[in-house]
A and B are shown apart, each in its own frame.
Chain A
Amino acid sequence: MLTKRIIPCLDIKDGRTVKGIKFKNLIDAGDPVELASYYSAQGADELVFLDISATAEKRKTFASLVNEIAQKINIPFTVGGGITSVEEARRLLLAGADKVSINSAAVRNPALITELSKAFGSQCVVVAIDAKQIEGEWIVHLVGGKEPTSLRLFDWAKQVVKLGAGEILFTSMNNDGTKQGFANEALQKLSTRVNVPIIASGGAGSIQHFADTFLLGGADAALAASVFHFNEITLPNLKQKLQSQAIAIRL
């Protein structure tokens, strides 16, 4: 049986992990390679690395970091952050990434989704969607949720799949950072509207939140950052508790 995936997300700036990550067992938790190996050994099903470096110059170092990660870890990983062309995606995939994630670039240039999917296959193409519920409507936002667009979540999701997205990473801006749980209602609706796997993101605060997003939200995978980085939830404990609720999990 296909299992639900648990995906720690690492933000990378200038080649280092950000957010005050604290782990006793790590020599250097700011080192993405070391942190990735740690999560992989702990039972992460996949990893996501988001490059939040501000300049194109610093972004170039990301490709060499991706190469280093690919050498060290034996589970799949997705990279994203500032990818706007097939060439940039190719550089990261050739460096060893399994998938690329695009967000704002997909909204600004939807044809990019098709170009990527034609070049590498839809299984390589994750479209990340940040949306905020405003007066009952889920509106797609750009620039980490700062800039609203005229797109509605469910329409946009359908469109990106039609264009060639193999997976959708949906972040609810209403839930992100709240630790009050994932946006399960919207996730459930997404799952019935599109026929690709959905990664839930934004709102993880407890083990039950993960269980809920699988059981109520119908998510195929759940992504979280701070609960893992601050050791509030450990992967082995999380996965065991999920399995005890009859959720298909790889232990």
Chain B
Amino acid sequence: MSKVVIIDYGAGNIQSVQFALERLGVQAKLTHNTEDILSADKVIFPGVGHATPALKSLQEKGLDKLIPILKQPVLGICLGMQLMCSFLEENNQNGLDIFSTTVKKFSEEEKVPHIGWNDIKFKDGELFRGIEENPYVYFVHSYYAELGVETIATTGYGQQFSAALQKNNFYGCQFHPEKSGVIGEQILKNFLTITQ
């Protein structure tokens, strides 16, 4: 049985992710312990809320150094994904620099936050295996990751941006798979069965 951990660093509603995994029959451990994280088969890095306190909490726990060197599949969700990017416009600060993308604030042309179900266009790959084209997934965020070489799914709100990113063993979803109905469950299931 593979070991799944959810990184617990005080950033919001992480129980939802744990519950979503439970519905898939997976007991995931909430932890910020280095040994636990290093020895896991899969690591989920969630987060909602503000980037600045989240980054501070990662630094205090040494997770900002640990996460980028992980070798097993890692899935960042929402703020988790954004923190994995190189630069964040919120307070102009550096992220964990796993993805080379910049995270920007939505323009005032659109209603912010971007809340609700939006369709995504994805590149074929492990994360979206078995999912029909242009699925609807649930977003809630005020900042977005620009398009880049690591973009594996896009969506549009005002402009096109990254709905999902991937670089080697690192994956990120701007949307919330744990809140995206059966499609989201399939995406989580796909992540859990990625083999390397």
The residues of A with any CB-CB pair to B shorter than 8 Å are 1-5, 40, 45, 67, 70-72, 74-76, 93-98, 118-124, 166-167, 195-197, 220-221, 250
**Hey, which chain A residues are within 8 Å of B118, CB to CB?**
1-3
> Complex: how many Å from CA A124 to CA B50?
11
A220-B115 CB under 8 A given contacts A96-B15, A98-B13: yes
In the complex, which residue of chain A has the Cβ closest to the Cβ of B135? A250
A123-B141 CB under 8 A given contacts A70-B15, A74-B181: yes
* B117 adjacent to A250 (CB under 8 Å): yes
* B185 adjacent to A96 (CB under 8 Å): no
> Complex: how many Å from CA A48 to CA B147?
34
* A45 adjacent to B117 (CB under 8 Å): yes
Instruction: Bits for B182-193, please: 1 = Cβ < 8 Å to A, else 0.
Output: 101100000000
Name the prevailing secondary structure of the B interface residues: mixed
Name the prevailing secondary structure of the A interface residues: loop
For B140, give its contact among A72, A118, A123 (CB under 8 Å). Answer: A123
The residues of B with any CB-CB pair to A shorter than 8 Å are 12-13, 15-16, 19-20, 22-23, 48-50, 108, 110-119, 136, 138-142, 156-157, 176, 178-182, 184-185
> Complex: how many Å from CA A93 to CA B15?
9
**Hey, which chain B residues are within 8 Å of A71, CB to CB?**
19, 22-23
* A96 adjacent to B116 (CB under 8 Å): no
* B113 adjacent to A76 (CB under 8 Å): no
> Complex: how many Å from CA A197 to CA B142?
12
**Hey, which chain B residues are within 8 Å of A98, CB to CB?**
13, 16, 140, 179
